[in-house]
Structure 1
Amino acid sequence: MNGSTLHTFAADCAEELPGARPTHPFGPDWEVFKVRGKVFMLMTEVPGRPVVILKADPGEAYALQQQNSHITPGYHMNKKHWITVEDGAGIDKTLVRELVTDSYRLVVAHLPRARQPVDPHTYGIGTRVAR
């Protein structure tokens, strides 16, 4: 998957999620996806390289960074709770879809129950692939 494909595929995954909406609060160079007003994915270019920035469980984020050099701490975000994904070996559609869905679920879980568009504890679980 090349960088533009990474952005296109990640955006397609995000747009399929209930209540997810793309915005451009930081200008045209940043595409920001939100659910109920809360950010769960950002896309931009970091010195010419397309990247996707996603929320992640801290333990999972650390493990992903240890396993793949194309997953690094979140660019301009809290390094413990966000990751940056760029195109490279080991970054495939299955992983990108899983990471986008996990980010979405983490954000939805912190919304008031009445505002949650899905149950964050069960949504997308049946589609996960073991790593």
Structure 2
Amino acid sequence: MNIEDFRAYCLSLPYTSEDMPFGEDVLTFRVHGKIFALTGITEFKSINLKCDPERALELRERFDFVKPGYHMNKKHWNTVELSPGCSDSFLKDLVKHSYDCVHKTLPKKLK
């Protein structure tokens, strides 16, 4: 997946916005203001995604391209390295899971 396809998929999710609060090279995607995905723009090599803690551990054990979240809370975030083993459909599933993890914590009036 390239960065344009990744960006288009993230923005296709309801109530998603994008911004760059950490500098010109880090693109973030938010649902109602809460971040669910971060990635580098210049070098699109990995993506930080929120994850259910139990699933995060399982994914790290099963896939060598899933690591504890770089510069993030390692209990709730994974860094997914974009490698040939990480298919577009699998990556979309991880992005949707991240979105859902954040969305379910939102106040009822925002859902």
Q: Flag whether TM exceeds 0.5 (same fold).
A: yes
Partner residue, 2:51 = 56
Which structure's CA Rg is the greater one? Answer: 1
CA 1:38 to 1:84, structure 2 compared with 1: closer, same or farther past 3 Å? same
> Which residue of structure 1 lines up, in the alignment, with residue 77 of structure 2?
82
The answer for unaligned runs of 5 or more in structure 2 is none
The answer on 1:101 being equivalent to 2:101 is no
Aligned length: 110
Structure 1 segments, 4+ long, off by >6 Å, are none
* Contact kept? 1:56, 1:102, Cα under 8 Å: yes
- TM-score, scaled relative to structure 2: 0.92
- The residue type equivalent to 1:68 in the other structure is F
* TM-score relative to the length of structure 1: 0.78
Distance 1:72 1:8 in 2: 23
Q: Deviations over 1:38-84 (max 9, x none)?
A: 00000027xx5621000000111111111111110001000010000
Q: Secondary structure at the match of 1:62?
A: helix
Determine the structure 2 residue equivalent to 1:24. Answer: 20
Alignment root-mean-square deviation, CA: 1.5
Q: Identity across aligned pairs (percent)?
A: 36
